[in-house]
Amino acid sequence: MSDGIQHASDVGSSDAPPIEEKPYKIIFEANKCFGAGKCAEVSDNWEMSIDSGIAQPRTYFIDEDDLAHNVRAADVCPAKKGDGCIHVVDRRTDEEVAPDPHGDGTLSVDW
């Protein structure tokens, strides 16, 4: 981007489907996941890896039909002292939909 700021919608977008088809994306801080499995309990998009012991999303790009259960997965994640390591971002606005611990849509990723 010309402003030198890394925007949430830019992360992992080289193979992204069109925004009109999948307006939301998952940003997953796998290095912060400690394998509680709460995400997999509430969302079909999340599964626990037997090999690594951490969660994995089946897809990183989602539509309205898959939004609610992925938001729930982000909200129930206990990693990072409850701020979670699953982030749902609206690609149209570049705002974090969940867990949004700051309450202002800024991305709560610990890079």
Q: How many CB atoms lie within 10 A of CB 11?
A: 17
Task: Output DSSP code: residue 5.
Answer: P
Instruction: Give 70-79 pLDDT, tens digit per residue.
Output: 999 999 999 9
Residue 54 has pLDDT above 70, yes or no: yes
Domains defined along the chain, listed by start: 30-98 (3.30.70.20)
| Nearest C-alpha neighbor of 38 from the set 83, 87, 75, 89 | 75
pLDDT digits (tens, 9 = 90+) for 9-33: 666 666 899 999 999 999 999 999 9
Q: What is the pLDDT of residue 1?
A: 42
